[in-house]
Amino acid sequence: MQNLYAAAHACLMQTDLEQKLACAAQLYADWQAGRLERVETPDCPVQAVPEPGRPAKPELVHPREVRQRKLSSMEGRRALLHAVAHIEFNAINLGLDAVYRFRDMPDAFYGDWLQVAAEEAYHFSLLHERMADFGCRYGDLPAHNGLWEQACKTDYDVLVRMALVPRVLEARGLDVTPGMMQRLREVGDEATVSILEIILRDEIGHVRIGSRWFRHCCEQRGLEPEATFRQLLREVMQAPLRGPFYTEARLQAGFTVEELEQLLAMEQTWVDEITR
C-alpha cells in the first residue's frame, strides 16, 4: 500500500510533463483499486508549496504581459490553446494539492480530487495534441501564475480553498468558454470546439465538487453557505464575482438561482461604490 499523501505530493512536485500526466491518472486508478491509504507519517508533513513541480517553461509573467490575439488568426488560436492548457496544468496541481494538504476530510473528498487531477491531465493532453497542429507546444509562450497564487493564499483552510478556487476561479471558465466556442465556430475551428466541449462538461463537475465540499465544511462549522461565500469574496478575494454568468452551467455546478441573483447584486453594489 502506498501512502496517499506522499504519493500526491510526489506527483504534485513532478517537473517532467509526461510523467506528471501519467502519475495523475495512475493515482486515481490506484485510489479506486484500494492501493492507497491515508497515513500520517513524520516524513510527509503538510508544508507550503510556493511553487509546484512544472517544466522550466513557460516563462511566468504578469497577466498584463500575456498578449490577447484575435481567434481569426493562427497566432490567436495558438495563444488560446496555450492559455487554456496552462490553466489545465495548474488545475492538475490544484487537485493534487487538495489531496496532499487537507487531511481531515472524508474519504470521498480524496477520491473526488484525484478524479479532478486525472481529468485535468486528460484535458491537458487533448489541448497539447491540438497545439501540435499549430506548430506549438506547452512552454512556447509566456503564461501567468494567478491560479497558483490563489492556491497559496487559500492553503490554510479547506473551506476557503473550496470556496474561492473551484467556485470563483474555475467557475469563471464556465462563463467564458461558450463565448470562446462560438468565436471558434465562426472561424471553422471545430476540432478545438470539440475539445472545449469536453472540458466544459467536466469542469461543471469539478466546480460541483468544490460546491459540495464547501457546503460540507460550512455544515460542519454551523455556517450558512451563501452568506459565508459572499463574506469570503469581500474579505479574502476583496472583489465580487464578475458577470454575466452562464446560469445553466453554474446551476449544474452547485450554485442556486437565489445565490446568483445575490452575487449579481453584490457586483452592482461594488461597481456603485467604486464609481462614486
pLDDT at residue 274, as a whole number: 44
Which run of H or of E encompasses 23? Answer: helix 17-32
| Tally of CA atoms within 13 A in the half-sphere of 86 that contains its CB | 24
pLDDT at residue 276, as a whole number: 52
Q: Give pLDDT tens digits for 34-60.
A: 999 999 999 999 999 999 999 999 999
Q: Give pLDDT tens digits for 150-193.
A: 999 999 999 999 999 999 999 999 999 999 999 999 999 999 99
pLDDT at residue 66 greater than cutoff 90: no
What is d(CA 114, CA 241) in angstroms, rounded to the nearest whole number? 27
- Which cell numbers hold the place of 71? 481567434
- Which cell numbers hold the place of 49? 508549496
CB 166 within 8 A of CB 206: yes
pLDDT at residue 275 greater than cutoff 70: no
Closest CA to 155 of 51, 57, 54, 84: 51
